[in-house]
Amino acid sequence: MHGEEEATTVEVDPLTTAFPEVPILVCGEHVRAGDDSGGVASCKPGPCTTVCRMSVSPAAAAAPSTLPPVAADLDDVVVLGVPFWGWQIALAAAGVIVLLLLARTIWTPSPRSLRAWALGNIVVNAGIAVTGAVVRVTSSGLGCSEWPRCTPESFVPTNTGHTAFNAAVEFGNRTLTFLVLVVGVITLLAVLRSVPRRRDLTLMAAIIPGGVLGQGVVGGITVWTDLHPASVATHFLLSMVMVFVTIALYVRLQEPQGKPEVSVTPMLHVTSVALVVIGFLLLIAGTMTTGTGPHGGDASAPRWDLPLENVTRVHSVLAWLCLIGALAATVMAHRTGARRSVRLAATALLVLTVVQGTLGYVQYAFALPEYLVVLHVLGSGLTWIAISRLYFSTTRLVPDGEKLIDDPVARTEEHAPAEPAPER
């Protein structure tokens, strides 16, 4: 405060109806304040009576924060004489050692072990997107303010200027990246060791560790831009692209080398393609909603100046389109007698879309509580996995010179009602 000037509580002009008024104390010079959920108040210079515009989480305004209380610097948190970040590194190293021990199978890979490693890639690439959401909703995005270092002076979180909790969350998420990379590299080596070596599988397996390295670069750009929503969105979407590739690898490992041919009715295949397009647009709209909403990863993180209600409405429309597509795919898969894998993929997608949509409406109604946001991100990853699985199940690799067995079109014609016999 300046001298004898009296501090006053000012009314905050909300950015949207989703952001309620929150009184703050300001006096004199420019003020920029934030809350644990990522809300930011930006006030113009002036006397003690100032009107500010505030972007604040409705959950933070209406209820106590669910985030842990402010703690000391992470370097001050010691367990059994070892700094907490040391335990995080040890845990990541132990995970790598376990993976290397399991990797003994890559020298003589079997179809079963190859599929297991491919499945592991799906899990870790989808999982890192969920842990990224935890970083964001806990305002821990700048718990390590530099990249590739954590701070300008150190690769580990010492004197970060953030709470111990924020530094631990962000540094922990960075260490998980090494596990994702190791799983990708092991899978690539296993594919290269397989006999006969297939070019299609090798290409997909090589893309995975390359994508993880690309994620590291995007993560660095995200930190350098102070968590700009565009870079945060790119970070998440790249994870979803990697999930798509890992599912392709998992499915094609179960098929012989050959050319892909449609194994379902043309309409069902077209529906699966449309769902991939709609699903990815839905993911993009979700990142736009995130970039406009309150959970930016840090109190000072920039946000998109977009009407949150309109962005949310676009996201909702795409979700409804996805639900309609999933329902249509499920009906067609069962009515046309599609293979069991196709029916299961379509049904799983329908169920996940209903659950995900319900969760989306619930989190919006309850003002975006942190735990529901994380669950929604998990749901988005599972829904994208189901969409990808359905798409790849509608085609099968057929070796050169062979024909697709169990032709769906022929099967549909067999089940068609017989025409009446001509009158004599």
Q: How confident is the model at residue 389 (pLDDT cuts 50, 70, 90)?
A: very high
Count the alpha carbons within 13 Å of 341 in the hemisphere toward its beta carbon.
13
Q: How confident is the model at residue 388 (pLDDT cuts 50, 70, 90)?
A: very high
Q: Which one is predicted more confidently, 311 or 15? A: 311
Sketch the domain layout of the chain as residue ranges.
8-62, 73-254, 261-299+306-416
- The pLDDT of residue 239 is 93
| pLDDT tens digit sequence for 266-314 | 999 999 999 999 999 999 999 998 888 777 777 778 888 888 888 889 9
Beta-strand (E) ranges in 196-348? 259-262
Round to whole Å and give the CA distance between 257 and 346. Answer: 25
**What is the full DSSP assignment across 161-205?**
SS-HHHHHHHHHHHHHHHHHHHHHHHHHHHHHHSSSPPHHHHHHH
| pLDDT tens digit sequence for 117-155 | 999 999 999 999 999 888 888 888 887 788 888 787 777
pTM tops 0.85, yes or no: no
Round to whole Å and give the CA distance between 125 and 244. Answer: 10
Decide: 194 and 252 in contact? Cβ < 8 Å: no
Round to whole Å and give the CA distance between 198 and 236. Answer: 30
Inter-residue long-range contacts of 199-204, CB under 8 Å, 24+ positions, other chains counted: 200/252, 200/257, 201/249, 201/252, 201/253, 204/245, 204/248, 204/249, 204/252
Count of CB atoms situated within 10 Å of the CB of 192: 14
Helix, strand or coil, per DSSP, at residue 85: helix
Count the alpha carbons within 13 Å of 219 in the hemisphere toward its beta carbon.
28
Decide: 166 and 138 in contact? Cβ < 8 Å: yes
- The pLDDT of residue 87 is 65
Round to whole Å and give the CA distance between 54 and 12. Answer: 6
Decide: 253 and 243 in contact? Cβ < 8 Å: no
Decide: 364 and 56 in contact? Cβ < 8 Å: no
Decide: 208 and 235 in contact? Cβ < 8 Å: no
Q: What angle do CA 67, 70, 74 make, to 5 degrees?
A: 110
Residues in the chain: 424
Residue type, position 411, single letter: R
What are 40's two structure tokens?
A: 């930011």
- The pLDDT of residue 84 is 61
